[in-house]
Amino acid sequence: MISVVIPIYNEGELIHRLHREVADVMNGTGRSWEVIYVNDGSRDNSLDLLRSKHETDPKHVVVVDLSRNWGHQAALTSGLSVARGEAIVMMDGDLQDPPRVILDMLSEWDKGWQVVVAERSSRAEGGFRALMFPLFYKMLGFMSDYPIPLNAGIFGLLDRKPLDSILNLTETNRYLPGLRSWVGYRTTVVYYDRADRAEGEPKQTFWKLLKYGLDAIFSFSYKPLRLTLFVGLISASFLMMFCFILVVCRLLDIGLFGQPVVFGYTSTLISILFLGSAQLIGIGILGEYIGRIYDEVKRRPLFIIDKVYRAPADSA
């Protein structure tokens, strides 16, 4: 069986088209399949539409209804936890990830690859997102301590073995593309052109994308901490040189850079402001790590499922 996991949040205007395109592709594979729609606390009619799809085709449609909105990564994880397939495809529900690419993924899986990553060769977004996404992936590539494929989101295929390895990880602040790389296994890449949204507005706000980006960086890199130490050492070196120059100027009773002697005001103010800024940056970086440690030690569940709409196993 092939499972397709799709998180849904206020996508009522897209669900009919989304399911039609996914079903057309999966029926064309000649394999047993299921599509798992995860209703992540939608406030529109998404759940009613998904339940209607399940009632129409209970053999292929599974609906996971979460108790509230838990976020994109948690919703995906909940869908992965109920997937029964030997290969599992993750994709978004806005049709920016073309369902036809699933055929290319299955072809690579048949060749023996256990993880297939769909990497974007181009993007259709414009405006602020078109500017920020390439910048984010360049920063992630520099910061990450692990080889995470760039220009790749959650769209991809997992064999059952790497999926089970990911589900055994209990961390709260999840970045699934990073976890997919971290667990290893034989990995290949397929390329596709990412389309713009088929309908409606993006559901990921700037602040949600910012948290997503911070989870990606701070969950897979110690470089921000090392960078703080590096900045501190460089700052200390410059300050030592500056102090030496000030002492020499004071002993020779000459002004710095040929200016009249000013006793302490400028150097003290600059030093305080510079060191204060460096300390605040360092504390902020430490705070990001400590906040994530706080989330982990609470050991709260990543999601809570209210109900699963699924046909009995013997009828699948």
Q: Where are the domains of the chain?
A: 2-221+301-315, 223-298
Query: Per the structure block, which two tokens stand in for 97?
Result: 């990830």
Average confidence score pLDDT of the chain? 78
Name the residue among 90, 60, 82 with its Cα closest to residue 159. Answer: 90
pLDDT at 71: 84
Distance CA 108, CA 187 (A): 10
pLDDT at 27: 93
3-state secondary structure of 86: coil
For residues 157-169, b (16+ Cβ closer than 10 Å) or e, as one string?
Answer: bbbeebbebbeee
Q: Which of 154-158, 180-184, 193-197, 267-271 is predicted most confidently?
A: 154-158
Distance CA 31, CA 11 (A): 27
Q: Check whether 6 has a pLDDT greater than 80.
A: yes
Q: Report helix, strand and coil shares of the chain as percent, to nearest 5.
A: 50, 15, 35
Q: Is the pTM for the entire model greater than 0.95?
A: no
Q: Which of 39-53, 176-190, 247-261 is predicted most confidently?
A: 39-53
Q: Check whether 38 has a pLDDT greater than 90.
A: yes
Note the pLDDT tens digit of each residue in 234-280.
776 776 676 666 666 666 666 555 555 556 655 676 677 677 767 76
Q: In what order do the strands lie in the sheet with 33-39?
A: 187-194, 115-123, 156-159, 87-90, 2-8, 33-39, 61-66, 305-309
Beta-ladder partners of 4: 35, 89
For residues 68-79, b (16+ Cβ closer than 10 Å) or e, as one string?
Answer: eebbbbbbbbbb
pLDDT at 316: 46
Q: Domain 2-221+301-315 belongs to what architecture?
A: Alpha-Beta Complex (3.90)
Percent of the chain's residues with pLDDT above 90: 31
Triad 301, 302, 305: Cα angle to 5°: 85
* Pairwise pLDDT comparison (262 vs 16), residue with the higher score: 16
CA 48 to chain centroid? 28
31: amino acid identity, one letter: R
Note the pLDDT tens digit of each residue in 187-220.
898 888 876 554 555 555 555 666 656 666 666 6
Note the pLDDT tens digit of each residue in 74-95.
899 999 999 999 999 999 888 8
Query: Per the structure block, which two tokens stand in for 42?
Result: 């939608």
Distance CA 122, CA 134 (A): 11
Distance CA 36, CA 52 (A): 14
Q: Check whether 314 has a pLDDT greater than 60.
A: no
Q: What is the 3-state secondary structure (H, E, C) of 131-186?
A: HHHHHHHHHHHHHCCCCCCCCCCCCEEEEHHHHHHHHCCCCCCCCHHHHHHHCCCC
* Pairwise pLDDT comparison (208 vs 120), residue with the higher score: 120
CA trace torsion 9, 10, 16, 18 (10° rounding)? -40
Name the residue among 6, 4, 24 with its Cα closest to residue 15. Answer: 6
Percent of the chain's residues with pLDDT above 70: 62
The residue-averaged pLDDT of 288-308 equals 77
pLDDT at 4: 95
3-state secondary structure of 193: strand
| Structure-token match 């970045």, residue found | 175
